[in-house]
Structure formats: C-alpha cells, structure tokens
Amino acid sequence: MSEPIKGNILTPGGWISGSISYGDRVTSIDGDAVDPSANGDDYIIPGFIDLHVHGGGGKDIMEGGDAPQVIAAMHAKHGTTSLLATTMTAPPHEITAALKAIGAACAARRPGAARVLGVHLEGPYINSGKLGAQPNYARAATLAEVLQFGVHAPLRLITVAPEIAGHLRLVREMTDAGIRVQIGHTLGSYEDGVAALEHGAAGFTHLFNAMSGLHHREPGMVGAALAHAQYAELIPDLLHVHPGAIKVALRAIPHLYCVTDSTAATGMPDGDYMLGRHRVQKCMGGVRLPDGTLAGSTLTMDQALRNLVGLGLDLADASRRVSTYAADYLGETERGRLAPGTFADMVVLDRDLNIKAVYIEGEMCDLNDA
C-alpha cells in the first residue's frame, strides 16, 4: 500500500477534500464534500482514456514492433492511463502485423506506459470518397475477416461507413459479436446514419471530420449524430473543429467524449513523420498531408482537458469527457472514475491544470521529458 494522496478528489458523487488510499486499485477515499474553488489544493481526477491513438513519440502504430509500448509510454506522461491503439487503412497483411504488436502490448503493460485496452480499427471499411488522411485501401467488410483480425488483438472498436453495400448487416453482426461499431469516413446521408444506429452502431468517429456535413435540407451524417447520438468522439485541438461547433455538439450529444487522433509527431519537434503509408508534416501545431489536409493531430489529453475548460466547461464536466464517458462507452466500469475498487488510474493537477503526477494501476509514472 502506498502513501495516500491528498487534495481535491473528483469522485462519482462530486468533489471530496481529503485523501485517497490505493494499491493497484483504490482502497478508500476519505474526506468531506467541497467546492474545489474554495481552497488552493491540487486536483485529483480519473486518468484520461483515449480511444483514438495512432502514434506518439516518433512512432506510428502501423510500424508494429515496440511502437505500441513507446506510444503508450509517451501518452502516459500527459495523463493518459489507458488507450485504444488505432490502425490505418492498409492491405490486410499490414493490418495483421500491426495487430500482432498491439496484441503483445495488451497482454503485458510496460512500467510507465498506459494500459493498451485493445484496438480501434479505423478502416479499411470506410468510403474511398471520404478518406481524409487514410491511404486508399478502403474496401467492404466481411465478418470472417473481422473475426480473423480479432485473433491477433482484442478489437474493441471499428469505424465503418454504413452506406457501403452489406455494411448495415455487418454492423449488427459485429455488434452482436461484442465489438463497438461507430460511423466515420462516410459519405452517407442522414438516413444512412439513422439506419446504422438502428442496426447497433453506437457512436461517431471524430465528429464533423470526414463525414457528410449538416445542411438544413440534407442533414447528412453530422445531422444524424446531432439528432440521435448518445456518444460520439471529437478532436478538441481547436484545429479540427471550430469552438462554436464543439459547443453545438456539447449541447446535442449527452456523452460526447474527446480523443486525440494523435500521430507519431505528437511530443516531437516539427518535421516529417509517418502516418501509416503517408508521410506527413508537423508544423504550426498541426499535422498535414502535402496537399494541406489535416492528418491526425499532435494533441495530448491534458491539453484536451485544458481546451475544454477554456471553452467554458467546469473541470468535473471536462474530466468526464476525457475519461468517464469513454470508459462507459467501452463498458470499462473499473476505469474512468475514482471510487473504492476501481483501478488506481489517477492524474494530479495543479491549479493551472498542469500535470504534477500520473498513476497507472497504482504505479507512479516518471514524468521526465513530458
């Protein structure tokens, strides 16, 4: 048992001024209800959960090898305590190689690294007319191929374009197989989005980006999300989505949660990096293809939290959107909240919301070079 941590602790029932005791799991939280603005103590909030991570620290998930572990360690320094390693659209043999490396990372977490909960398969089951920064290897899904991919690593989330022939049936089959399916990289209509939700789709991939937009006579996939979604992911780097559009989504989607869509360039200096088969350039805080298309981000989850607070959310609400709602979406009831019995995944913030400490399953991470 480690020494208790003291501060303003965000629990499912609200803020507590006191101490949290823990091993690999929280054992107790002691103290009294508090308005955290009433004192100058540190904030202790649940560790961040990022369901869309392509890279970081110079490494790309599609490289295989030790890339998932290096990426997980880089993001841990910014408060991410668990994540989904996210693949790119590619030929099957390249996806399989990446999945084997992710599977190894899922089986054994390295000290100082975020827990890799599984895979977000972002493609290849997308629309070739809405690739965004995905390489052009889009194709229709088959359940047999999906299940074969799942032999190598746990598939927790799959992005699909529901308008592709056969995909509505596959959405139901994959959902029944226990895989979360979400809509993205799509030219589908509002009606396609509603149909996908009715067949079991549960959310939307990087809302607003790489999907048909909202028009008052053709609501598009964005309209389907705003009208019907309970969950959707959004990239709050303030480049991918205008602050005004973020506020619209916050009002419309009850459990809107944040992802980084981070690339190998995250945590690295300006320059050229790989994103799957694409060479991308980091400059002026963003990552782009040679034609200027945004290609993932350099966002970290601690900055996502600060951006949300900067948009007017209170810290408790912002915390839920970088942690709790993503955990709920995946059915991870022992993460994304601080209560006796949950994993001791914690982030300690100073009053300016800068990270002071990160704990992953009770292990205090080394923040050097963060």
* Mean pLDDT, the chain, integer: 96
261 belongs to the catalytic site? yes
Domains and CATH numbers, the chain: 47-334 (3.20.20.140)
Catalytic residue among 42, 50, 60, 261: 261
Q: First-to-last CA distance in the chain?
A: 27
The C-alpha atoms of residue 340 and residue 207 are separated, in whole angstroms, by 34
- pLDDT above 70 coverage of the chain, percent: 99
Tokens of 318: 């912002």
pLDDT in tens, 24-76: 999 999 999 999 998 999 999 999 999 999 999 999 999 999 999 999 999 99
Size of the chain in residues: 370
Nearest Cα residue to 153 out of 98, 115, 92: 98
| Low-confidence winner among 121-125, 145-149, 232-236, 282-286 (lowest mean pLDDT) | 282-286
Three-state SS string over the chain comes to CCCCEEEEEEECCEEEEEEEEECCEEEEEEEEECCHHHCCCCEEEECEEEEEECEECCEEHHHCCCHHHHHHHHHHCCCEEEEEEEECCCCHHHHHHHHHHHHHHHHCCCCCCCEEEEEEEECCCCCHHHCCCCCCCCCCCCHHHHHHHCCCCCEEEEEECCCCCCHHHHHHHHHHCCCEEEECCECCCHHHHHHHHHCCCCEECCCCCCECCCCCCCCHHHHHHHHHCCEEEECCCCCCCCHHHHHHHHHHCCEEEECCCECCCCCCCCEEEEECCEEEEEECCEEECCCCCECCECCCHHHHHHHHHHCCCCHHHHHHHHHHHHHHHHCCCCCCCCCCCCECCEEEECCCCCEEEEEECCEECCCCCC
Asked whether residue 319 carries a pLDDT value surpassing 70, the answer given is: yes
The predicted structure's pLDDT at residue 369: 67
**Chain position carrying tokens 């490494």:** 59
**184-197: average pLDDT:** 98
Asked whether residue 98 carries a pLDDT value surpassing 80, the answer given is: yes
The predicted structure's pLDDT at residue 339: 98
Residue 370 — very low, low, confident or very high, per pLDDT cuts 50/70/90?
A: low
β-bridge mates for residue 297, sequence order: 262
> Which range has the top average pLDDT, 241-245, 263-267, 294-298?
241-245
